[in-house]
Structure formats: C-alpha cells, structure tokens
Amino acid sequence: MKTRNLFVISALAASVCFAADGSTSSPTGGSEAAEIDKVPASTEQSRSEPVEGAAEQTVAEKCLAAVENAGKAIPSNAVTAKFTYGEALANAGELSYALEKDPESATVQTLTANCDTYVKLIAAQAETQALRNRTAENWEKRAATARSIEAIQEQINQARSGKVNDLEAEKAKLQDQGARLQAEMQQNQEKFQAEAAAQQAALKAASKREADLQKQQADLQKQLEAEKKALAEERAKAEVRQAEAMNKLNELQSKLIQVTKDARGIILSMSDILFDVNKASLKADLKTSLAKVAGILSVYQQFNVSIEGNTDNTGSAEHNMKLSQQRADNVKNFLVEQGIDAGRLTAKGLGMTMPIADNKTKEGRQKNRRVDLVIQDKALQQNAEPAAEPAAPAEGAAPEAK
C-alpha cells in the first residue's frame, strides 16, 4: 500500500511540473506552443520496439504504454491535458498494484476502464489545444496582412502629397498594387472565415467529447469507490461473524480438542485419540463434537472448512498419507451427513509432512497425530493476502521411514 501511494504521489507531482513547464509557453500558440514534448530517441525505441523474447505485456503495462503514447501528442501549452496525463499515470500505478493483489477482482476491471477513458480524454484535450493554437496563428496572419496594407496605404498618401516625378504613373502603380492587395485580403478574409467556422465546429465537438469523457470517468470513479466500500463492509461483517463463531467454538476446548486462531482462520485441532488406533473410524466423543461444529456451520453459511489429516513419522510415508487422507475424508463425510454442503468442505491428507512438534519424543508424536479443521469466512478468503510458504518440518523430525 505504501509503495502504491508513493507511486501515485510521484505521478501527480510529475504532472504538476509538466503543467508548470507548459504554462510558460507562448500564449499566442505559435510554432513554439504547438511543438510536442520531445522524448529521447533511445527511450522512444525502448518503448515502441518489443524486446526479443520478452513476455506478453500485462494489462497494467499496456495501460501505461497507451498513456505514455497519448502523452506524446500533448502540445507544450496544454496544461489541462498534462494534469490528466499525471492522473492517468497514477491510475496505471493503482492498476499494477491491483493486478498483483487479485487479477480477477472488479477493481482491476474498473481501473482498466479508467485507463481507456484517460487515454481518450488526453487525446481530446490535446486536440482541443491544437485547434486553439491554429486559430491563434490565423489571427496573427490576418493582423500581419492588415499591417502590410496600412504600410502601403501610407506610401500612397506620401506619394500624393510629395513632389515626385511621374506622380500619376506612380499613383497608378500604387493603386494597382493596392487593388491586388485588397483582393488578396478579401480572399484571405473569406478563407479565414471558412477556416474559423470549421475550427469552431471542431472545437465545439472536441469540448463535447471531453465533457462526455469526464462524466464517464466520474461515473467509473464512483463505481470503484462503491466497490471498495462494499468490500470493506463485507470484510467487517465477516470478521464479526468469525469472532462470534470463535466464541461458540471455544466451548469445545478440551484436552483432546484445541481451538486456536491464526492468519488462515479458526483452527480446531483434534487428537488422534478420538479415532480408533491406526484406523480412520470416528469415536463417539468426536462425533458429538463434530455435530456441534456442524450446528455452528449451519448458522454461519459463509464459512468454508479445510479438513487436514496429519500423522507422526511412525511407519511408512505411504501408510501415513493414506491413513491421514481416510481420517480427513471420514470427518468430511460426517459433516455432510449433518447437513453441511459438501461444496463448503475440502479434505486433504498430509501424512507426516507437516509436524508441529518434535517426533523424537512421545509428547511430540502425540501432538503431530491430529486432524485440523481450518474454518474461514468466504469474504476473508477472497480478500486475504497471498498465503505464506508452508512451514519447514520441526527440528528433530525423523526422515521418511523405509
């Protein structure tokens, strides 16, 4: 989370600097204002040319590439587009973080849609500023033509008032030149008016597209916030449910059944004394406890249960694996008989691969001979961080029997 926040802050700071550079450009939108920010040739080549043997781009990388490509077309004086470019970079950072957390989440889909909207919005804002720059250039050309005509008119006036040889000829020449310039000015005026009308229509259309894109972006942002709020509320409810269930399950605490809680959820560890010796059949005491567990699971339909069978290192690895799987399956089948949906249950035999105590002692082997029920709310499972690697065997655990 800290990394993502730093990335977002850096992107926004970059957009502010980018916009500040653009605000110092020529306000008339001349050739300097219309010039697009340059990117070093080496950087361009590294972005546009795929590296031989490189892996397929992720959604976040494609998003970032699209945003950077759109940023190349931003005029130097397009302040709004540069701010949007910074927001788009921040959105790409959030998308990269969301992909690492859960590639299938609704947040990834929303941020991906945001990215597409940002790219379109940047293009619309850049096009709008480019139209404004061209309009400013045309007004400058018109002013230059007017100044030229004024200078020629001044020359005509000087010729009329001065004592110059061949005054009439010069006058006719100047009048002819003035007529040509007047005709040229009229032609330029008509051309300018036509271009101005077309540019105005294009500017209006671009403004409408920009407004539509901004509205779409706002709607997507609201949807993302609503999804985040819903996830937080669901997680809070799940934690309350799990705490309530923990209180009820604590009533089963005994020498043979241990109730604990860790990152995986609520753990019920049942001693193998509750099974017949070297068999998988359930004793009456275990059935009674499991019936109570089934009653709690019936109340909390949002809970899933992972049933894990474990043994010590006495006997062969193959025999222990088979015995632990049979015990886990029998516990699962009993819970199903009590009305628990089988889709909420998983059973797995781990044999002697996951000891929690030293197999060199009698007490350690007794602790290792157990069946664990790992109970967790579905909402907490969906939002949980990636699980850690399985713990290494306890120190002193004996090697696999031959």
**pLDDT tens sequence across 71-80:** 999 999 989 9
- Given a contact cutoff of 8 angstroms between Cβ atoms, the answer to whether 231 and 156 are in contact is no
Q: What are the tokens at 50?
A: 């795929």
The single residue listed with the structure tokens 């690492």 is 100
**What is the predicted pLDDT for the residue at 57?**
79
**What is the predicted pLDDT for the residue at 272?**
75
Q: What are the tokens at 323?
A: 């015995």
* pLDDT at 388 > cutoff 80: no
**What is the predicted pLDDT for the residue at 23?**
45
- Given a contact cutoff of 8 angstroms between Cβ atoms, the answer to whether 22 and 77 are in contact is yes
Report which of 329, 313, 317 is spatially closest to residue 367, judged by C-alpha positions.
313
Question: Region 101-105: what's the mean pLDDT?
Answer: 87
Residue 32 vs residue 150, higher pLDDT: 150
Q: Rounded to whole angstroms, how far apart are CA atoms 155 and 146? A: 14
Written as one string, the DSSP assignment of 241-253 is HHHHHHHHHGGG-
399 contact partners, CB below 8 Å, separation of at least 6: 313
Phi-psi sector, 128: left (phi>0), alpha (psi -120 to 50), beta: alpha
Helix count and strand count (H, E) for the chain: 11, 5
What pTM was computed for the model? 0.42
Question: Region 61-90: what's the mean pLDDT?
Answer: 92
pLDDT confidence band for 11 (50 / 70 / 90): low
**What is the predicted pLDDT for the residue at 122?**
93
Sheet with 265-271, edge to edge strand ranges = 257-262, 265-271, 370-377, 303-310, 345-349
Q: Rounded to whole angstroms, how far apart are CA atoms 13 and 82? A: 11
Question: Region 310-321: what's the mean pLDDT?
Answer: 91
The single residue listed with the structure tokens 């009048």 is 175
Residues 186-245: tens digit of each pLDDT: 889 888 889 889 998 998 899 888 889 988 888 888 888 888 877 777 777 777 777 777
Question: Region 22-45: what's the mean pLDDT?
Answer: 38
